[in-house]
A and B are shown apart, each in its own frame.
Chain A
Amino acid sequence: MNDDLDDVFLDDLAQRMQQLDEAAFEDFAGFFGPRFEAFFRGKGLPQSVAEDLALSCVTDTALKVKRFTSQGPGSFPRWVWTLVRRMLVDWLRKHRSGKGRPEMVSLTDDLVEAAPSHGAVLAETLAEALWLLSERDRSLVRMRYLDSHSSFAAIAAELGITEDACRVAHHRALRRLHVYLADHPDIERYFGAPRRSLDEAKS
């Protein structure tokens, strides 16, 4: 399945899954499974554990899709990530007493017991949104905003595309991030909801 998805794909996907469309379940698994695995590895879980947990999350999340009610564009991936974060916390709680897993105990403490600062909350949310982008678009956004604040010319050279294509891809990536982030409760809490520009972004 192509990672470079239309903005409406994920919300449409939820509807198709609720109608028990087999291909929709496979699309869901193909899109989110690798992202879940990356998310869990990013939390410090060993790769084999991250893979097992990601597959389990694919099944469990897909089976809960009947409970999802759309709250507008971007609400489905937000709902999915909320479930997955809860599943991670549950998994960590269950395994925290395991011997030889001090790093996981520490991670559980970080996630469950220590109230994260606003920065951590926003960074987590931003990371989730970035995982919804294709590899190329994520690299583009990272180079532009996170790592080196590079120019479009430099990013285009790095990615092996023209500067014009880089600008178009950049704008599309921002729109996707915006659709995901604009109504997100964590973002609203700190920024307020930019609904007007969300509507403009969708037009």
Chain B
Amino acid sequence: MKEFRPAEISNRHDQGAAASPPADLEQWLRRTVETAFEGAPEGLPAMPAVSQDPAFRACCQQAGRQAWSIAQLRQRREEAGFQPLPVLELLQSLAGGAVAVLDGALAGAGLRESPPDSPGFAARWSALAHRLCLGTREALVALRLTHAVQADPELLSVFYARARGDELSGWREDQVDGLLRDRLLRWDADRRARLAAAEEAFSAGA
């Protein structure tokens, strides 16, 4: 096998580039192919046939629609700013009534596959939050609120009262987190352990 010398090939190619287009293209590709196979490990380039399986192609289309849904939610999040809401309510709010967008994002993330206070849900939320470009603290607040609302369904109205009429959208993550910590202290050990397991799964999925 000949020793490879980039400079020499470059010069040869420069001469070839002045030729008429069709001949030049063919020569250029032939040289590319020949050089590609000089010193290439056996078997390269591996080129299995592109899948024609209709089921897989349908999955691809679905993945494309899910990506579009997430891109829509991400854009709306950029416009809306931080909203102190549990995970599913947050996604509903961002979707703004667009059922297809919400369904696409939920299906893509697999959030319907586990109960909202489970570690599996937390891990999937972590991945979706990353794709939505949410900050870690913001995503964690949504997860904690998800658990907190399960423990105390009236929590959000309590939050509103504490905010003395402020719009929830005007709140900051640290304010919500501070209020949540107060509530957490009143939870039983089992519920606190469930939140800890979820947060661990969230961190592992991040």
Contacts and interface: CB of A to CB of B under 8 A. Distances in A.
Interface of A: 3, 20, 22, 25-30, 32-35, 37-38, 41-43, 51, 54-55, 58-60, 62-63, 110, 117-120, 122-127, 130-131, 135, 138, 141-142, 145-146, 171, 174-175, 177-178, 181, 187, 189-192, 194, 196-197, 200-201
A63 B48 CA distance: 27
B34 to A, nearest CB: 9
A106 to B, nearest CB: 12
Given A120-B44, A174-B26, A191-B13, A62 B32 contact: no
B40 A122 contact: yes
A34 B60 contact: yes
B68 interface: yes
Given A123-B44, A192-B13, A197 B25 contact: yes
Nearest to B40: A119
A130 B67 contact: no
B71 interface: yes
B46 A191 contact: no
B193 interface: no
Nearest to B27: A197
Contacts of B117: none
A62 B56 contact: no
B45 to A, nearest CB: 3
Interface in B48-76: 48-52, 56-57, 59-68, 70-72, 74-75
A164 B13 CA distance: 28
Q: Is the interface of B mostly helix, strand, loop or mixed?
A: helix
Given A63-B70, A127-B45, A138-B47, A171 B22 contact: yes
B59 A33 contact: yes
- Which 5 A-B residue pairs are closest in the complex by CB-CB distance? A29-B64, A33-B60, A127-B45, A42-B46, A119-B39
B6 A126 contact: no
Contacts of B46: 41-43, 127
A36 B98 CA distance: 30
Nearest to A58: B63
Given A25-B71, A135-B50, A191-B13, A119 B57 contact: no
A184 to B, nearest CB: 10
B17 A197 contact: yes
Contacts of A29: 60-65, 67
B183 interface: no
Nearest to B13: A191
Contact of B56 (A20, A32, A34, A117): A34
Contacts of B67: 25, 29, 58-59, 62-63
10 contacts: A29-B67, A30-B57, A38-B47, A60-B131, A119-B39, A120-B41, A130-B45, A174-B22, A190-B9, A192-B10
